[in-house]
Amino acid sequence: MSGPIIEVSELEAGIVQVRMQDRVNKNTFTDALIHGLTAAFDQIRHCADYKVVILTGYDSYFSSGGTQAGLRELFEGKVKFTDKDLYSLALNCPIPVIAAMQGHGIGGGFVMGLFADFVVLARESVYTANFMKYGFTPGMGSTFILPHKLGLSLAHEMMLSAATYRGEELQRRGVPFAVVPREAVPQHALELARSLAEKPRISLVTLKSHLVGPLRAQLPAFIEQEIAMHELTFHRPEVKERIEAFFGN
């Protein structure tokens, strides 16, 4: 792999792009990717020149969610998903965030993208909230953000079934996001970013704070409930067996 795992670049005046490009690990939540994303959003938070963020991946991957080693640590009770907070990076970012999900969004990777203010999906890519595939209940705020962004029926189906969906299928199911061919995702996101960057930064920050204020206030209660559900569902032998048998399939 060449280049940094997280690449931060200013595409145009006021538009900053954060690209996840861990090709070795397919943008799973390795320590390096988590550290890089956290540092990138911290940098953005303190830069008054930026007005909008584009969060994207590489080729056919947006983010593949937790690593197998990370799931093992959760099973063993060594960590909680709240120890490394990726899910609220976009939500708590002061300026609007566009998740340009040109590639597959798997588990926590899909959920992380949904916390953005705008979501762009690719028709060809796969999106799934596949936590239950491994036998444990969803985390990372999934039980909050999926119903909020996708509607109750589809969100419940995705979480309970752990099924995978192509972007074109989600488009047919009526998701309220732009769904375009994969090669068109970057340009679509850039055009949206340009329309935002035309506005005064103070107005963007003020309006986003108002719009997402209720989400920021409600999320902690759902996180607590998800942690409680993990205590009931995560530390069971069949979960360990599923992590070993099904991971990456």
- Sign of the CA dihedral running 85, 90, 91, 92: positive
- Residue 3 zone, left/alpha/beta (φ > 0; ψ -120 to 50; rest): left
> Of 31, 58, 79, which is closest to residue 125 (Cα–Cα)?
58
- % of the chain beyond a pLDDT of 90: 86
In angstroms, the CA 38 to CA 211 distance is 23
Q: Is 58 helix (H, G, I), strand (E, B) or coil?
A: strand
pLDDT per residue over 156-171, tens digit each? 999 999 999 999 999 9
Instruction: Quote the pLDDT of residue 85.
Output: 85
Taking CA atoms, 73 is separated from 159, 193, 207, in Å, by 22, 38, 39
Instruction: Quote the pLDDT of residue 113.
Output: 98
Q: Is the pLDDT of residue 1 over 50?
A: no
Is 188 designated active site?
no
pLDDT per residue over 7-17, tens digit each? 999 999 999 99
Q: Is the pLDDT of residue 137 over 60?
A: yes
pLDDT per residue over 48-65, tens digit each? 999 999 999 999 999 999
- % of the chain beyond a pLDDT of 70: 98
Whether 64 contacts 104, CB under 8 Å: yes
Query: What CATH number should be reported for the domain whose range is 6-183?
Result: 3.90.226.10
Residue 96's pLDDT band (boundaries 50, 70, 90)?
Answer: very high
Whether 77 contacts 121, CB under 8 Å: no
Q: Is 231 helix (H, G, I), strand (E, B) or coil?
A: helix
pLDDT per residue over 103-136, tens digit each? 999 999 999 999 999 999 999 999 999 999 999 9
- Give residues with Cβ within 8 angstroms of 158, minimum separation 6: 128, 129, 146, 150, 165
Residue 7 has what DSSP assignment? E
> Catalytic residue among 104, 188, 230, 235, which?
230
Whether 164 contacts 105, CB under 8 Å: no
Instruction: Quote the pLDDT of residue 249.
Output: 66
In angstroms, the CA 129 to CA 91 distance is 19
104-106 β-sheet, strand order: 61-63, 104-106, 126-128, 164-166
Taking CA atoms, 177 is separated from 80, 134, 154, 204, in Å, by 31, 28, 14, 20
Give pairs for 23-27: CB < 8 Å, separation 24+: 23/58, 23/59, 25/64, 25/67, 26/61, 26/64, 27/57, 27/58, 27/61, 27/62, 27/63, 27/64, 27/103, 27/109
Q: Is the pLDDT of residue 30 over 90?
A: yes
Instruction: Quote the pLDDT of residue 70.
Output: 85
Instruction: Quote the pLDDT of residue 184.
Output: 98
Residue 81's pLDDT band (boundaries 50, 70, 90)?
Answer: confident
Mean pLDDT (the chain, rounded): 95
